[in-house]
Chain A
Amino acid sequence: MVDETIGYREKKNFWRWPSRSLLPVPRLAKREAEHARAPDTAANARTAGAAMLIAFAIFLVFESEGLRHFTRDLPGNAVTDVMVEAADSWHALMERLGPARLQPGVRDVFERVRHIRW
């Protein structure tokens, strides 16, 4: 904590990843190229946004029960009433088709591992 050798001032290379000076600087940090190229931020933001939407979709399909709880957590009004109902029928559909049954299955296996005794 009191080692004066580690300065905290801004390093010259802005694109340096958050990493301590004690460690070898990650390879990635040395990549001037990307910075020089100026990343295509708009495209990358779109990619990241799309990836997040896909993640949401995965949750909608496989965690439809969580969606039911979530809609019930919302303050009650005409809109959330519709959402609650939609979530209920969505969950019923997912149960029928199968994806909603994955969660209990995975959990079962996990719980079995968790309760193994010596």
Chain B
Amino acid sequence: MVARLTHFAAGARAGILILLVLLLTAGAFTTAQARTSLSARSHHVTVAVLGDSVAHDLARGMEALFKHDRGVRVIRQTKFATGLVRTDYYNWDAVASAFMRLHNPDIVVTVVGGNDKQDIRVHRRRYDPLSKGWIKQYERRVSRFMRVFQRDRHAKVYWVGLPPVRSQSLDRAYREFNRIFKREARRHHFHYIDVWKKFTTRNGAYTSFGHTLNGVRRQLRMNDGQHFTPEGRLVFADYVARQIGLR
């Protein structure tokens, strides 16, 4: 307990002081997030968001976006770590058709596929991700899932493509998935919303940063290089809402 600490102590003290001054100055100027006010609509539109954790981000963004808008009601059916490959784990076809019967939404927005870079196993056969056989099987699954919504003649369906991610192998897979989604959406007369370019650099590479709704450059993606920060969710939701025509 008698060891001299002068250097360590002085250094640490100076460092802490600088840190605090920087922090507090910045903090004093922190601006509250600007809220986007929307004109109240006379009719209720129910927007259902379905899918995996990316859909969850989108749904949370939409909820925040339309918090003060009585015209739009956002409901969600999202489940982390699910997709169309692992039907043994979670059966989206069954969940979605039960959901549609129960809620009868006006607009359906789906984002799935984030967890689908996995082997597909059918009848004792294994298809490696993105192999020819795999793509055929996956197309079949996407189509089957889409038919669930097609059966409901009331709802307008929007299929949102996956956003880019930091992991390069996953990123490559997502590009391929999006091609499948786009093709299948067209076949089923759904609207396909391409969000890819919204979240890349000019060169088309993944970036965690981008401009918020207020036009300020901030972190939009979480540290995992996959999900969205609260700011990012708003940007994501705003982009999708504009494509749908809600904003």
Q: Do chains A and B touch in the complex (CB under 8 A)?
A: yes
A72 to B86, CA, bound (A): 8
A88 to B167, CA, bound (A): 32
- Nearest-Cβ distance from residue B134 to partner chain A, whole angstroms: 10
List the A side residues contacting B119 at CB < 8 Å.
72, 75-76
Question: Which of A72, A75, A76, A85 meets B88, CB within 8 Å?
Answer: A72
Question: What is the interface of chain A mostly: helix, strand, loop, or mixed?
Answer: helix
Q: Are B126 and A76 in contact (CB under 8 A)?
A: yes
Q: Are B121 and A84 in contact (CB under 8 A)?
A: yes
* Interchain pairs with CB closer than 8 A, number: 18
List the B side residues contacting A85 at CB < 8 Å.
124
Q: Are A69 and B88 in contact (CB under 8 A)?
A: yes
Interface residues of A in 68-109 (CB under 8 A from B): 68-69, 72, 75-76, 81, 84-85
List the A side residues contacting B88 at CB < 8 Å.
68-69, 72
Which bracket fits the contact residues of A? under 10
Q: Are A81 and B89 in contact (CB under 8 A)?
A: no
- Nearest-Cβ distance from residue A66 to partner chain B, whole angstroms: 10
List the B side residues contacting A69 at CB < 8 Å.
86, 88-89
List the B side residues contacting A81 at CB < 8 Å.
126
Instruction: Decide if B106 is an interface residue (CB 8 Å cutoff).
Output: no
List the A side residues contacting B121 at CB < 8 Å.
72, 84
List the A side residues contacting B128 at CB < 8 Å.
76
List the A side residues contacting B118 at CB < 8 Å.
72
- Nearest-Cβ distance from residue A3 to partner chain B, whole angstroms: 15
- Nearest-Cβ distance from residue B176 to partner chain A, whole angstroms: 18
Further contacts, 6 of them, CB under 8 A, given A69-B88, A72-B86, A85-B124: A69-B86, A72-B89, A75-B119, A76-B119, A76-B126, A76-B128
